[in-house]
Amino acid sequence: MNFRVVEELISSLDMSMGSGFSNDNQNSLSEWDSCLLKIGKYRDKYAFKSLYEHFTPRLKSFLLRIGSDESAAEEICQETMIMVWRRAETYNPESAGASTWIFTIARNKRIDKLRKDSRPLPNFNDPLFYQKPIDKSDDILQRTEEEKKIKNVLKNLPQEQAKLILSAYYDDKSHRKIAEETNLPLGTVKSRIRLAINRLRTQLEDF
**Which residues are within 8 A (CB) of 63 and not within 5 positions of it... i.e. 6 or more apart?**
72, 73, 76, 77, 106, 110
Are 25 and 94 contained in the same domain? yes
Are 142 and 101 contained in the same domain? no
What three-state secondary structure class fits 20? Answer: coil
Q: What is the pLDDT of residues 47-93, one digit of tens each?
A: 999 999 999 999 999 999 988 899 999 999 999 999 999 999 999 99
Q: Is the dihedral of CA 135, 136, 137, 139 positive or negative?
A: negative
Worst-scoring range by mean pLDDT, 25-39, 96-110, 159-173?
159-173
Q: Is residue 90 part of a domain?
A: yes
**Which residues are within 8 A (CB) of 16 and not within 5 positions of it... i.e. 6 or more apart?**
45
**Which residues are within 8 A (CB) of 3 and not within 5 positions of it... i.e. 6 or more apart?**
75, 78, 79, 82
Are 145 and 110 contained in the same domain? no
Residue 18 DSSP code? -
Longest dimension (CA), the chain: 94
Are 109 and 10 contained in the same domain? yes
Are 21 and 92 contained in the same domain? yes
Closest listed residue to residue 158, CA positions, set 205, 196, 116, 124? 196
Are 17 and 44 contained in the same domain? yes
pTM for the model stands at 0.48
Q: Give the CATH number of the domain where residue 176 resides.
A: 1.10.10.10
Worst-scoring range by mean pLDDT, 11-15, 100-104, 115-119, 150-154?
11-15
Q: What is the pLDDT of residues 150-186, one digit of tens each?
A: 777 677 778 887 788 778 776 777 888 888 888 888 8
